[in-house]
Amino acid sequence: MQIIRSLLAAAAVTLLLAAPALAQTVTVNGVKYEDATDLRGAKLQLNGAGTRYRGPFKVYTAGLYLTKKAGTPDEVLAVPGAKRVSITMLRDIDSAELGKLFARSIEDNMDKAAFSKLIPGVMRMSQVFSDCKKLSAGESFNIDWVPGAGTVITVSNPKCPQNIEPFKEPEFYSALLRIWVGPSPADWKLKDALLGKPA
């Protein structure tokens, strides 16, 4: 009987220890990022999350999800399989302006020849954000890499374009990732946070 009680107690302790790990979240400026997520059947884990500042202002939070942990930009780009950048706005912003900033950041992190090949995709992405008109605090969007489909952008604002045609080129998603983890990132502290480095 004593052995059974000991085994039950050990099982209960194991379950208690495992429970927080199963439901673990990271909170960044009030925005919760789950430790793991599912993207069309692919299991992704949170690599890091942080806040994009512009001057003293908090613009948005971002979380990077990968199939396995990566600590450098090259590792992030090389990780195989599905990927996700999840962004939640912390302030109202003209979404057309955000699209232009993304386009500029892509250009800042690539050589001209490579960027010129992606101009059609960059212009289409800018148009998607332009069509939204405005993104409000609390609204979010995901930028996903789905193997076999391409880059899929999903915006929570119902006024934004829905069922956006995927961007097929793998290079386009890598270019988007460089906005945050490239040599000239949008925000250096955010870059470190997405790479899982302690603040």
| Count of other CB atoms within 10 angstroms of residue 198 | 6
Question: Residue 111: its pLDDT value, please?
Answer: 92
| DSSP code for 184 | S
The full set of domains in the chain, from first to last, is 25-194 (3.50.70.10)
pTM comes to 0.86
Concatenated DSSP letters for 17-48? HHHHHHT-EEEETTEEEESEEEETTEEEEEEE
Kindly report the three-state secondary structure assignment for every residue of 140-174. EEEEEEECCCEEEEEECCCCCCCCCCCECCHHHHH
Question: Residue 20: its pLDDT value, please?
Answer: 43
From first to last of its 199 residues, the chain has per-residue pLDDT tens of 555 444 344 444 343 444 444 448 999 999 999 999 999 999 999 999 999 999 999 999 999 999 999 999 999 999 999 999 999 999 999 999 999 999 999 999 999 999 999 999 999 999 999 998 899 999 999 999 999 999 999 999 888 888 889 999 889 999 999 999 999 999 999 999 999 998 7
How many residues does the structure list for the chain? 199
Q: How far apart are CA 52 and CA 198, in angstroms?
A: 16
Which amino acid is residue 73, in one-letter code? P
Question: Residue 146: its pLDDT value, please?
Answer: 97
User: ∠ CA 32-33-37 to the nearest 5 degrees?
Assistant: 140
CB burial string 91-111: b at 16+ within 10 A, e below:
eebebbebbebbbebbbebbe
Q: How far apart are CA 96 and CA 102, in angstroms?
A: 10
Please name the residue that has the structure tokens 């020849």.
Answer: 113
Question: Residue 2: its pLDDT value, please?
Answer: 53
